[in-house]
Amino acid sequence: MIEDARRHAPAAARNRDPILAVLRDVLPPSGLVLEVASGTGEHAVHFSRALPALSWQPSDPDAGARASVTAWREGEDLPNLLAPLELDAAAPQWPVGQADAIVCINMIHISPWESTEGLMAGAGRLLPSGHPLVLYGPYRRAGHPIEASNQAFDEDLRRRDPRWGLRNLEDVSACAQARGLALERVVEMPANNLCVVFRKG
């Protein structure tokens, strides 16, 4: 049944509107948005409903996550929300040839560094000049002492998998720049998270 496959992430209900406010400001007025690591699919539903002129392409490497996205999608009447694709950010080839924007929420700290490298490589391949890559999540930043909640979160992530953990924003930006993506803005978000916007040069 549809209900059985739907996953729920409590944080999605809290952060979806602050993220949407940034997306409204930086996404193109129309075209295809590729969401990398869609997770439960709750963001995909919310954003595609709020941005009907954009086609929203969810993706995730995890079959259970894709089943959740599919179940959420089947419960909605959203013609601009596409069926989820199997996509591993770290893979050298993606099942998408072009996108007008890429959105990636809460992946970089819960994946190996190779996934961030692959994300930037993919964005460098897919995005036309002037189009955005939008990231959301917690980061370390030079000159900003890490918040106690983020320090505890980082330690928990590293216990779960030594390849995980909060990344230095400077390292992520350097990785993006090497693929032709320039840092445009960093937006402070609730709960010590950031929205980070890059644009293809």
User: Per-residue pLDDT tens for 191-200?
Assistant: 999 999 999 9
Determine the pLDDT at residue 65.
97
Out of 13-17, 54-58, 167-171, least confident range: 13-17
In the chain, what percentage of residues exceed pLDDT 90? 94
Chain centre distance of CA 113: 15
Sequence-separated (6 or more) residues with CB below 8 Å from residue 34: 57, 59, 96, 99, 101, 102, 103, 126
Domain housing 190: 2-10+19-200
Q: Is 106 left (phi over 0), alpha (psi -120 to 50) or beta?
A: left
- Output the six-digit token pair for 173: 């930006």
Count of structural domains within the chain: 1
Tell whether the model's pLDDT for residue 171 goes beyond 60.
yes
**pLDDT single digits (tens) 12-44:** 989 999 999 999 999 999 999 999 999 999 999
**pLDDT single digits (tens) 67-117:** 999 999 998 989 999 999 999 999 999 999 999 999 999 999 999 999 999
Here the CATH number for the domain that contains residue 73 is 3.40.50.150
Chain centre distance of CA 119: 10
pTM (2 d.p.): 0.96
